[in-house]
Structure 1
Amino acid sequence: MRRRQMHMSRAAQDALLPALQQLRAELKAFTEFPAHVLEAAEAAKDALVLPDKDATHLPLFTIDPPTSKDLDQAMHLERRPGGGYRVHYAIADVAAFVKPGGPLDAEAHDRIETLYFPDLKVPLYPPSISEGPASLLPDQVVPALLWQHDLDAYGNVTESTVSRAKVRSLAKLDYAGVQQDIDAGTARESVALLREIGKLREAVEAARGGVSVNLPDQEVTLKDGSFGLTYVAPLPVEGWNEQISLMTGMAAARIMLDSGTGILRTQKEQTDQAEVRRVHDIAKLLGIDWKPGVLYAALVNSLDPTDRKHMAFLSEATAMLLKAEYTTFRDHHIPEHTSHAAIAAPYTYSTAPLRRLVDRYTGALCVAACAGEDPPSWVLDALYCLPCDMARGKGKVADRRAVDLVEAAVLKDRVDEIFGGTVINTDAEDGKPKEGTVHLAEPAVMGRITSGAELDLGTGVQARLMRADPLFPGRHKVLFRTA
């Protein structure tokens, strides 16, 4: 699932700065790095040794938001003689800079992942590395893990390998520009093939029962003293780009399973029939036609994330998929469950090592396996601790609380106003039938609601806004009560 981005106008950023700073303080999310970590980063740059394999002839390109500098992935797409496709996918080789057990490694194990806030990000590694010699910025020779995927004419992967190589990206592209060039027919072939291959991979995903949800970005504005919250639909190219990453994550999982040592991102299917019925009820109450016999994946893939009712369903219906976990194994002791339900295949994180700790380890395991070598000792030493390390990540909490904060800002001048909404969740299963979640028709906000009587799922309610305070110290910055 693509992470939903939040963008803010400068005026909105300035107005919300105290609340955002308070949120970062509560999460202990520090933009600055200790002096000894910065010193280690400079030493790592000076000690860098590039791989012997030279792949600088590949005309790689990146696709990222225009302001991004920590570029994890670059690609080159081409047709294969006789039919099918070849995808070269370069991933930043962070392990070339991070000494196991050293200051950079210790700091990364403390931070776990890059945190994104509406006004800035808190990086996993110092920008002197992550936005410099480790990043796949254009016109610089850098170390990378270079994947080669061969696909048949239908988009099925026939072979995947990865090795260390020095690469050079030639172009830093952005999503809007790539979409415009592809639609206009002016994109060079390697870029234009992203649509062709992306659509084939989407069809392959649908056939195996995978679920893709590209929720719209949120745009926060401030005009004449009032906040606004609008939604911007993701571009098709963002989904095609995501398919290349998913393909690589599945290939990495298969390589680790075949080698007998690895760490997977696993997820079991929902078997609680009460929960299944609840999600079906949400769909019905939001006016979504979920016909008998239609699988959850097929329904989700048919919805339009820009439709507010569809978006509300997609945001709430993740209960159909149980919480994903990290599963480790070694010495060919393969676990019983290895699949990821939403992806409908074994899968691992492997394509964002500048922004996520675990990807550095999965990349190293795959490189060793493809070279016929034993797993690196530094990976084995950390392998069984990685699930606990990753569980300490604050990314999802930061995302959720940032959304809560912004929604509170949007509504802060409308306290005591009554809104029409629909109850899309209740806490009856937790013994709190008078508490739940309400989805407003306008603005598109989901908030906490309490009632003097028991709430019924799907009931239309008149919700009086009791609180909307971005600086409220508790969890529920937005609170409604039935009118």
Structure 2
Amino acid sequence: MPNNLVVRVNASSPALQEGLRAIATELELPGEFPAEVTAAAEQAAAGVVLPELDRTDLPFITIDPEGSMDLDQAVHIVSAGSGFVVHFAIADVAAFVEPGDPVDLEAHRRGETLYGAGSRIPLHPPALSEGAASLLPDQVRPALLWTIELDEAGTTTKVHVERARVRSTARWSYVDAQKALDDGSAGEVLQLLREVGRLREKQEIDRGGISLPLPEQEVDEVDGGFELVFRQQLPVEQWNAQISLLTGIGAASLMVGAKVGILRTLPPADPRDVSRLRRVAKGLRVDWPSDMDYPEFIRSLDPSRSQHQAMVVACTRLLRGSGYAAFDGELPEQTRHSAIAAEYAHVTAPLRRLGDRYAGEVCLAICAGTPVPDWVRQALPGLPKELQDSARRAGAYERAVLDLLEAAVLADRVGEEFDGVVTSVRDDEPRQGVVVLAEVGVEAPVSSERPLPLGEDVKARLETADVAARKVAFTLA
């Protein structure tokens, strides 16, 4: 299945709910928070001590999916001479969670927030993640305040982080923020987000980075059945993501310079995978000039076109092998993230990812010129495995939910034929592979009595759509 996040599900059928319960059981997903964890979170929320530094004068805004309550990030940007100053406030989870307390131990058990089918399994109890620690509008909150200075080209010239009390003045959805930018009603911060976001996108291109334009999937229940569609990302989502990337790159530079911390890494793409993708592109009739490298090729794809959409999904193969590298005194062999084309760290989503809290504390110490806290140093050696295990579970959950939803979408269409494109063929069995069906937004296994025609348009007959087994399978018509 393509690794797309299901961002909206308006469906409540018994079969779907039973399928979700089965997934939770199979993957041994966390359920409700134990009473002692909830109680500890509520006590922490009531007794939080705000930082001395007061930056509530900065009119921060948040930009998130509609209805989000776990708001990790708030942004403020100003022009400074010919350049810019980006203020990025990140929820201060450590202001509420003590090492070894019930909330901390439960967070280590969970690893990260899991998303799927319109619901989520949070990393922290709602009293924190949707309440006292969330950067909700018109609320004074403790935060890790990143201040990043940029020149006129968007190049970072200075990075600093410190604890401060902040206040968000507005909560924007992506849709509303994009509408305001398009109709000219956006305020200064949104306008500067667009300007800086575009500069950072150019910076990404110049350093050889890539952002796969993967469409997100949405599911609606219509007349007793399901409809699965792709939703393209809005430009403001990509500009907002660039601020997060900017901060993660800045955090990594601090940690690498101090030789202590934890990085998110990705090895370079395997040349064999690049060669395979060139064959897929040829089969899909997507032009890939021989002198064009794969980052430039990926940027040229338009996922609103079905053949390009299939190509984007195929390109995810190049981004396999991501991991974490913790270090204290000696840099690891692999420090770079090849897709970002820079050293990079997760620091901007501590409400949703365990490792961000630790990386944030390292950066705070570096900028303050103080020792990294013992509880952070002691945890560093074991964090990469913890975080990798939770990432694998999140990926398995997401894939299982997508399999379930695709089976539900097609459950009443067994025997029908669909237009599709064969996007991959097994090396060891050329009669089996994968077909993408743009009409219903599904990528599924396909088989044939003869070798599959890689990259060709085909008629695929739906043979199986088993919701309980979460299985969909096609044969060539």
Residue aligning to 2:417: 418
Any conservation in 2 of the 1:437–1:447 contact (CA below 8 Å)?
yes
Residue 91 of structure 1 aligns to a residue in which SS?
strand
| Residue number in structure 2 paired with 1:290 | 288
| Paired residues for 1:9-28 under 5 Å | 9=10, 11=11, 16-28=16-28
Q: Is the 8 A contact 2:60 2:170 kept in 1?
A: yes
| Cα deviation 1:36-89 (Å, max 9, x = unaligned) | 111211222233221111111111110112211110000111000x21000100
Distance 1:62 1:239, change over 3 A: same
Matched, 1:68 2:68: yes
**1:106-135 C-alpha deviation (Å, 9 max, x unpaired):** 111111110111131110000011111100
Q: What is the TM-score with the length of structure 2 in the denominator? A: 0.95
Alignment partner of 1:482 is 2:476: yes
How far is the alpha carbon of 1:459 from its aligned partner? 4.3
Q: Which residue of 2 aligns with 1:46?
A: 46
Taking the aligned partners of 1:3 and 1:129, their CA distance within structure 2 comes to: 27
- Given candidates 343, 357, 365, the residue that maps to 2:340 is 343
SS at match of 1:384: helix
Instruction: Let me know the Cα RMSD of the aligned residues.
Output: 1.8
Shift of 1:223: 2.0
> Equivalent residue of 1:17, what SS?
helix
* Counterpart AA for 2:328: R
Question: Mean alpha-carbon deviation: is it higher for 275-284 or for 202-211?
Answer: 275-284
Counterpart residue number, 2:221? 222
CA contact (8 A) 1:44 1:98 kept: yes
Shift of 1:440: 2.2
> Alignment partner for residue 370 of structure 1, among 367, 372, 383?
367
In the alignment, the residues of structure 2 paired with residue 49 and residue 3 of structure 1 have an alpha-carbon distance, to the nearest angstrom, of: 39
Whether contact under 8 Å (1:269, 1:322) holds in the other structure is no
How much has 1:308 moved relative to structure 2? Answer: 2.2
Q: CA deviation at 1:264?
A: 0.7
Q: Which residue identity is paired with 1:6?
A: V
Identity percentage of aligned residues = 47
Q: Which 4+ stretches in 1 moved above 6 angstroms?
A: none
Q: Which amino acid aligns with 2:282?
A: K
Residue 258 of structure 1: aligned partner: 257
Match of 1:277 in 2: 275
Aligned to 2:118: 119
Structure 2 residue 385 is the aligned partner of structure 1 residue 385? no
Q: Which runs of 5+ in 2 are unaligned?
A: none
Instruction: Give the drift of 1:26.
Output: 1.9
Q: CA deviation at 1:164?
A: 0.7
Q: For 2:336 and 2:388, locate their aligned partners in 1 and report how far apart those are by CA, in whole Å.
A: 19
Q: 2:471 corresponds to which letter in structure 1?
A: K
User: Matched residues in 1 for 2:212 and 2:457: separation?
Assistant: 26
Taking the aligned partners of 2:31 and 2:138, their CA distance within structure 1 comes to 28
1:457 matched residue in structure 2: 454
Are 2:30 and 2:110, in contact at CA under 8 Å, matched by a contact in 1?
Answer: no
| Structure 1 residue 31 displacement after superposition | 4.0
Partner Cα separation in structure 1 for residue 15 and residue 191 of structure 2: 41
* 2: CA distance, partners of 1:210 / 1:25: 39
In the aligned structure 2, how far is the partner of 1:352 from the partner of 1:336? 26
The answer as to 2:9 corresponding to 1:8 is: yes
The alpha-carbon deviation at position 317 of structure 1 amounts to 1.3
C-alpha distance in structure 2 between counterparts of 1:301 and 1:416, whole Å: 37
Aligned pair partner of 1:439 in 433, 436, 443: 436
Contact 2:7 2:218 in 1 (8 A): yes
Counterparts of residues 113-152 of structure 1 (less than 5 Å): 113-152=112-151
Mapping 1:63-212, distance limit 5 Å: 63-80=63-80, 82-212=81-211
- CA deviation map 1:168-197 (0-9, x unaligned): 111111111111111122111112111111
- Provide TM-score, normalisation by structure 1: 0.94
**Are the counterparts in 1 of residues 30 and 121 from structure 2 also a CA contact under 8 Å?**
yes
1:327 equivalent to 2:321? Answer: no
Q: Which amino acid aligns with 2:61?
A: F
- Equivalent in the alignment of 2:311: 313
Matched letter for residue 17 of structure 1: Q
Q: CA deviation at 1:408?
A: 0.8
Q: Secondary structure at the match of 1:467?
A: strand
Q: Secondary structure at the match of 2:239?
A: helix
**Contact 2:284–2:456 at 8 Å: present in 1 too?**
no
Q: Counterpart of 2:240?
A: 241
Q: Which residue is equivalent to 1:57?
A: 57
Q: 1:5 to 1:69 in 2, by over 3 A?
A: same
Measure, in 2, the Cα distance between the counterparts of 1:117 and 1:27: 14
Relative to 1, partners in 2 of residues 1:363 and 1:411: Cα closer, same or farther, differing over 3 Å?
Answer: same
Task: Letter of the 1:37 partner, please give it.
Answer: V
CA contact (8 A) 2:462 2:473 kept: yes
Determine if contact 2:15/2:467 at 8 Å carries over to the other structure: no
Q: Is the partner of 2:286 in helix, strand or coil?
A: coil
Instruction: Please say if residues 232 and 306 of structure 1, whose CA atoms lie closer than 8 Å, have aligned partners that are also in contact.
Output: no
Q: Which residue identity does 1:482 align to in structure 2?
A: L
- The amino acid that maps onto 1:4 is L
Structure 1, unaligned runs of 5 or more = none
Structure 1 contact 464–481 (Cα < 8 Å) conserved: yes
Shift of 1:380: 0.9
* Displacement after TM superposition at 1:320 (Å): 2.3
Q: Is the Cα contact below 8 Å between 1:12 and 1:221 reproduced in 2?
A: no
What is the one-letter code of the residue matched to 2:431?
Answer: K
Aligned to 1:54, what secondary structure does the other structure show? coil
Distance in 2 separating the partners of 1:55 and 1:15: 50
Q: Which residue of 1 aligns with 2:401?
A: 402
SS in 1 for 2:431: strand
Which letter maps to 1:50?
L
8 Å CA contact 1:357–1:390 kept in 2: the answer is: yes
Cα distance in 2, alignment partners of residues 27 and 84 from structure 1: 49
Give, as a single letter, the amino acid of the residue that structure 2 aligns with 1:251: G
Deviations 1:373-403 (A, max 9, x none): 1111111111011111012212222222211
Paired amino acid for 2:460: A
Answer whether contact 1:12 1:220 (CA < 8 A) is retained. Answer: no
Number of equivalent positions? 474
